[in-house]
């Protein structure tokens, strides 16, 4: 499995047979995939992706070409902020599996996940999380989510993933253009790993 980041919340996850595109953006150029996942209507819904893909932008459980997909409804603001008058929108959290690797993309979530949400998401190998100044999620809440989900690998996304890693205490990570997992057996067993991707 190969993971490429195209800026903000946009990724391509390429498996041996199928390819998943998450939140396509114009800066990525021509994207190709069998599946397109959209965290919200604003996240690339009007951008064409080659390959005649199936698009998913609603909560539920799906399967396309052997790729199981779960989409969970979440919010861009915490309840306390909404109660204080800040307007929040919905966002989707996606959990899918490619080549046996379980991937979770948190969309633009702005709150700590409930225990029910964590249980529904289940085991996660690779967690894609947006946090920091450009995000609805501060580093403290991001840390709580990471500790609750316990992924094997964390991939920060957003406008400044380097700053997010620094805030998380992992500032000496070498940037790479693609992250490749050749087999499930290659995933870290005991210690969580941070991955910093260059925008491609």
Hey, what domains does the chain have and what are their CATH numbers?
2-197 (3.60.15.10)
Residues 62 and 195: their CA atoms lie apart, in Å, by 28
Q: Which two tokens stand for residue 72?
A: 């969970």
3 state SS of 52: coil
Whole-structure pTM value:
0.94
Q: Which two tokens stand for residue 37?
A: 């996942």
Which three-class secondary structure string do you get for 28-91?
HCCCECCEEECCCCCCCCCCCCECCCEEECCCEEEEECCEEEEEEEEECCCHHHHHCCCCCCEE
Per-residue pLDDT of the chain (200 residues; tens, 9 = 90+): 999 999 999 999 999 999 999 999 988 889 999 999 999 877 666 789 999 999 999 999 999 999 999 999 999 986 566 555 566 789 999 999 999 999 999 999 999 999 999 999 999 999 999 998 878 999 999 999 999 999 999 999 998 999 889 888 887 899 999 999 999 999 998 899 999 999 99
């Amino acid at each position: 499995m190969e993971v490429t980041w195209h800026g903000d919340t946009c990724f391509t996850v390429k498996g041996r047979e199928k390819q998943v595109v998450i939140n396509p953006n114009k800066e990525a150029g021509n994207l190709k995939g069998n599946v397109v996942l959209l965290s919200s209507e604003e996240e690339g819904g009007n951008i064409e992706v080659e390959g005649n893909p199936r698009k998913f932008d609603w909560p539920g459980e799906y399967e396309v070409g052997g790729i199981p997909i779960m989409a969970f409804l979440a919010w861009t603001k915490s309840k306390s902020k909404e109660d204080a008058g800040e307007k929040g929108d919905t966002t989707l959290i996606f959990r899918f599996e490619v080549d046996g690797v379980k991937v979770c993309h948190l969309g633009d979530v702005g709150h700590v996940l409930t225990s029910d949400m964590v249980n529904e998401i289940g085991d996660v190998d690779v967690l894609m999380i947006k946090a920091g100044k450009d995000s609805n999620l501060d580093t403290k809440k991001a840390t709580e989510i990471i500790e609750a989900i316990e992924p094997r690998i964390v991939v920060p996304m957003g406008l400044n993933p380097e700053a997010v890693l620094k805030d998380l205490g992992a500032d000496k990570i070498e940037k790479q253009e693609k992250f490749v997992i050749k087999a499930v057996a290659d995933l870290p067993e005991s210690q969580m790993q941070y991955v910093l991707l260059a925008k491609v």
